[in-house]
Amino acid sequence: MDDVKSAIKENLLPPGVKPPEKVKKNSFVGTIDRETFPHLPNDEKESIIESLMDEIIRPALANDGGGLEVIKVEDNNVIIKYQGACGSCPSSTGGTLAAIERALKGYCDPNLEVTISSS
C-alpha cells in the first residue's frame, strides 16, 4: 500500500515539488509511569487507559469495524464493552481480550485484569 501511495504522490505533484513531510506525533504511551500508576486514583487510571486505548487498541479494532468502551476502572479491574463488529466476533472474548489485557499490563500495571461487561 505504501508503494501505491508513493507512486500517487510522485505522479500527482508538479515536477520539483516535494510532498509535505509527515510530522511525527509524540506517543502518549511513553509518558505512562508504571511505578506511580498503581497508586493513582481510579479516575486518573481510567483517563490513562482511555488514552492508551485511543492510541493503540481502538485503531486496530476500527480496522475490522469494531470498537470498545471503557465502562469502569476500579483498582486493578478494567471493565470494557465491545462495540460494532467486535460485539459479535467470537475472538473478542478470547484473543482480542487477551491482547488488550497484555497491552494494559505491559504499559500500565502487570496486576490489571480486563473483563467484558455483562450488560
pLDDT in tens, 48-94: 999 999 999 999 888 888 889 999 999 999 999 998 876 676 766 67
C-alpha cell at 41: 486514583
Please write down the HEC assignment for all residues of 48-89: HHHHHHHHHHHHHHHCCCEEEEEEEEECCEEEEEEEEHHHHC
Q: What is the pLDDT of residue 95?
A: 82
- The residue ranges of every structural domain in the chain are 33-116
- The C-alpha atoms of residue 62 and residue 83 are separated, in whole angstroms, by 10
Q: What's the whole-model pTM score?
A: 0.74
Please give the CATH topology (third level) of the domain spanning 33-116.
Answer: GMP Synthetase; Chain A, domain 3 (3.30.300)
C-alpha cell at 31: 509518558
- The C-alpha atoms of residue 87 and residue 101 are separated, in whole angstroms, by 17
